[in-house]
Structure 1
Amino acid sequence: MNIELRFFASVREQLGVAGERAEIPGDVRTVGELRQWLRTRGGAWAETLAEGRALRMAVDHAVARPDTAIAEGCEVAFFPPVTGG
């Protein structure tokens, strides 16, 4: 399955990339599984996307949970939680 990945703010800075088109394995079906799969890249990927780190995710511009399904051609974004004031 091919998807678009986008990384914003400190996530982008830590990974050193703003986005990429990725071919992911067929057994990766949710945002949580995608996050886990990306961590297998090691290094900054494992650290930045580590389990337990505060991180927000979106699929096709809608806020997503770890169990949100992903599909061919979708866009998945990772970004830090933000606050306003």
Structure 2
Amino acid sequence: MKIEVKYFASIREAAGLTNETVTLDVSATPTVDSVRTLLAQRSSTLREALATGRPVRTAVDHVMRGGDFELADGCEVAFFPPVTGG
């Protein structure tokens, strides 16, 4: 199964990428959280950026989704920190 992952703002800086295609093991239905955990294992900076306790927002196919949302083949998953400002 393949998904397209996009990174934004500080998470993009930690990943060193804007986007990538990720191949997932389909022995279990992947979720937003399982992909987040998988990606966090790649480097210490990405692990810190995607840590479970950090307020990371996730959109799947342009719709905000929670960590337990199940992913489908070919979907787009975007990770970004909350937007702040005034």
Asked if Structure 1 and Structure 2 have the same fold, meaning a TM-score greater than 0.5 normalized by the shorter chain, the answer is: yes
Structure 1 residue runs of 5 or longer lacking an equivalent are none
Identity %: 47
Judging changes above 3 Å, is the alpha-carbon distance between structure 1 residues 7 and 81 closer, same or farther for their aligned structure 2 residues? Answer: same
Q: Distance in 1 between matches of 2:66 and 2:4?
A: 17
Judging changes above 3 Å, is the alpha-carbon distance between structure 1 residues 53 and 28 closer, same or farther for their aligned structure 2 residues? Answer: farther
Aligned-residue offset at 1:13: 1.4
Structure 2 residue runs of 5 or longer lacking an equivalent are none
| Residue type at the aligned position of 1:8 | F
| Higher mean C-alpha deviation, range 50-59 or range 38-47 | 38-47
Q: Distance in 1 between matches of 2:29 and 2:41?
A: 13
Contact 1:28 1:34 in 2 (8 A): no
> Which residue does 2:65 correspond to in 1?
64
| Residue type at the aligned position of 2:23 | E
Contact 1:4 1:73 in 2 (8 A): yes
Which runs of structure 2 are paired with 1:28-47 in the superposition (5 Å)? 29-47=30-48
- TM-score normalised over the length of structure 1: 0.90
Q: What SS does the aligned partner of 1:46 have?
A: helix
Q: Distance in 2 between matches of 1:32 and 1:71?
A: 14
Q: Which runs of 4+ in 1 moved over 3 A?
A: none
Q: What SS does the aligned partner of 1:5 have?
A: strand
**What is the total number of aligned residue pairs between the two structures?**
85
